[in-house]
Amino acid sequence: MAKEMRFHSVFDIIGPVMVGPSSSHTAGAARIGKVVRNIFGEQPERVDIYLYESFAKTYRGHGTDIALVGGLLGMAPDDARLPDSLRLAHEAGIKVTFVPKSDKVDHPNSARIMLSRGAHKLSVLGVSIGGGNIQISEINGFKISLSMGTPTFITVHQDVPGMIAKVTQVFSDAGINIGTMTVTRESKGEKAIMILEVDDRRPDLVATLKAVPHVDNVTYFE
Amino acid sequence: MFNTIAALVAQSAAYPSVAAFMVAVEAEQSGRTPDQIRAIMGHNLDVMAESIAQGVQGVKSVTGLTGGDAKRLDAYLTAGDSYLGTTALTAVRNAVAVNEVNAKMGLICATPTAGSAGVVAGCLMAVREQLGLTRAQQVDFLFTAGAFGLVIANNAGIAGAEGGCQAEVGSASAMAAAALVCAKGGTADMAAQAVAITLANLMGLICDPVAGLVEIPCIKRNAMGAAQALTSADMALAGVRTVIPPDEVIQAMDRVGQAMPTIFKETAEGGLATTPTGLKLREQVFGQA
């Protein structure tokens, strides 16, 4: 058989543990929300979510809205508080709006999430590709391809000279290969984001990266 | 790693069981230790058991369209006068329970997907007392199911959007059948026979969810998947063999899925979804399209 092997782990088949009802529309949506929150690095004051195609048509019945907001509050797909996320977001003072869009996009299950807190703004396009797996395909207008399942570090830092060298030095010192790297920023001298996909599981490096001057926040996920 | 049922049966012969082989392969692929891997699966097992217990108590879905059938089945089961008998009817009740919990946004373990999560869990929890399975043996049940599921997923698929319900409930039922065979002391080859019998029997099953929701007919299809798994397992344990080899059945399932019209692949544009009642329920839940 010549088919490409898409599934490698027994836990792709038995798992994930998740809040129902749909691995693509609920678990995938929660994962998108959580990654976006990690990239933003702090609790947003306002969130506007554009939903496309299948997400736009069935988001209420599938709990896609609830899952996205749960993720934005930092919940994983298996968090039992997920069904209460809209109330919890309201209580936390986060203003959330959902806008179903009729525009055609590359994948049927897509959501554009725009967050803000004061002058701090972020726009991310997330895609749920099935079975709870997701991709991040755009950040602040930049096309990227970020897939779950790979050890990934996201830094939020001040846009000052030398940051890329200092952060990559941490990985070099640890003997870890960087597979892909994306750097973007709000505007010159403001907050900047670095996304690094690496070849080894080393969540312990978060502390080292946080200690680098001008780094505001670091998150790690697989 | 293995990519055919034939390779899985052959390579697992060097190990005490299919489950032990799966754990060894997972350890090599992931870099995790066997103990860590078994602990993760143990957590999945706990979630399955909890979802059944919750569903049997009686739940209602977020939309209000479904719920309460596991509780009805539980009362009928307790009355002790069924055609299926205790084991099979318990599996059916359990499968319905898991998917009713799924539809109310409860916690479940996708096996292999959320919409088909009741089959493997339902069968396992129905036989664990009858067979006196220890916790380790119950975890093994899930590794066996996962090993056969990996081959199906890689050679045909497990998403309704790709291959219809045969890919979801069909795959889940085949996985459960294989694990049921091994749990009763059957060989890996017998398990492979059970996989082939199951997939052949469920071939062509479409995915036609009413209103696009994972409720109608998904919940009842899980009951069917559990019953078929027990039937296939008993047939294989009795020595019944498949005429078309398991790997050829999986390839046929893949071709059927590819040839299946998209209206039958999780788009809610065909089958039960477009019946007058199906369309009315869609309007009831989502308003005018």
Task: Give residue A150's pLDDT.
Answer: 78
B/e letters for A169-178, b = 16+ CB within 10 Å, e = fewer, are ebbeeeebee
What's residue A8's pLDDT? 84
A1 Cα to chain B: minimum distance (Å): 8
pLDDT category at A148 given cuts 50, 70, 90 is low
Q: State the best of A9, A13, A107, A128 to mutate against chain B, taking most chain B CBs within 10 Å.
A: A13
Say if CB A205 and CB A174 are below 8 A apart: yes
Give the H/E segment covering residue B135.
Answer: helix B135-155
Higher pLDDT, A209 or A193: A209
Question: Average pLDDT in the B5-14 region?
Answer: 98
Between A15, A60, A130, which is nearest B44 by CB?
A15
Per DSSP, the three-state class of A198 is strand
| Band of residue B289 on the pLDDT scale cut at 50, 70, 90 | low
Judge whether residue A182 has pLDDT over 90.
no
* Confidence band, pLDDT 50/70/90 cuts, at residue B229: very high
State yes or no: pLDDT of A1 exceeds 50.
no
Contacts of A198 (CB under 8 A, 6+ apart): A150, A151, A152, A153, A171, A176, A177, A178, A179
- pLDDT (mean) for A201-220: 91
> Which residue ranges form the domains of chain A, and what is each CATH number?
17-147 (3.30.1330.90), 152-221 (3.30.70.260)
pLDDT of residue A3: 66
Identify the residue with better confidence: B232 or B285. Answer: B232
Band (pLDDT 50/70/90 cuts) for residue A142 is confident
How long, in residues, is chain B? Answer: 289
Q: Which residue of B has its CA nearest to A19?
A: B107
Instruction: Considering only the beta carbons, identify the residue of A8, A14, A130 that sits closest to B111.
Output: A14
* pLDDT value, residue B288: 63
The more confident residue out of A107 and A167 is: A167
Provide the total of helices (H) and of strands (E) in chain A, helices listed first. Answer: 6, 11
Pairing of strands A120-130, A191-198: unpaired
Alpha carbon distances (Å) from A173 to A170, A222, B98, B206: 5, 21, 48, 54
Average pLDDT over residues B83-107: 97
- In this structure, the number of other CB atoms found within 10 A of the CB of residue B38 comes to 20
CB crowding B171-193: b at 16 or more within 10 Å, else e: bbbbbbbbbbbbbeebbbbbbbb
- Note which residues in 103-142 of chain A have CB less than 8 A from chain B: 130-132
Task: Give me the residue spans of the domains in chain B.
Answer: 5-274
When pLDDT is averaged across residues B236-257 and rounded to a whole number, the result is: 98
The pLDDT, as a whole number, for residue B155 is 96
A178-185 and A46-52 as β-strands: parallel, antiparallel, unpaired? unpaired
* CB A221 within 8 Å of CB A188: no
Q: Is the pLDDT of residue B25 over 70?
A: yes
For B178-223, how does the pLDDT look when each residue is reduced to its tens digit (9 = 90+)? 999 999 999 999 999 999 999 999 999 999 999 989 999 999 999 9
Q: Mean pLDDT throughout B165-172?
A: 97
**To the nearest whole number, what is the mean pLDDT of chain B?**
96
Chain B contact present for A167, CB below 8 A: no
Mean pLDDT in residue range B210-237: 97
Strand bridging mode A133-139 / A178-185: unpaired
Half-sphere exposure of B232 (CA within 13 A, CB side): 33
* Cβ contact A21–B105 (<8 Å): yes
> Per-residue pLDDT averaged across B29-44, rounded?
94
Q: What is the mean pLDDT of residues B59-84?
A: 96
Inter-chain CB proximity A8 and B1 less than 8 Å? yes
Q: What is the mean pLDDT of residues B250-272?
A: 94
Provide the residue type at B140 as one letter. Answer: D
A149 in contact with B, Cβ within 8 Å? no
A179: distance to nearest CA of chain B, Å? 18
Q: Cα separation of A114 and A63, whole Å?
A: 19
Q: What angle do CA A166, A156, A221 make, to 5 degrees?
A: 95
Average pLDDT, stretch A166-192?
Answer: 88
pLDDT at B68 over 70: yes
Residue of B nearest to A22 (CA): B114
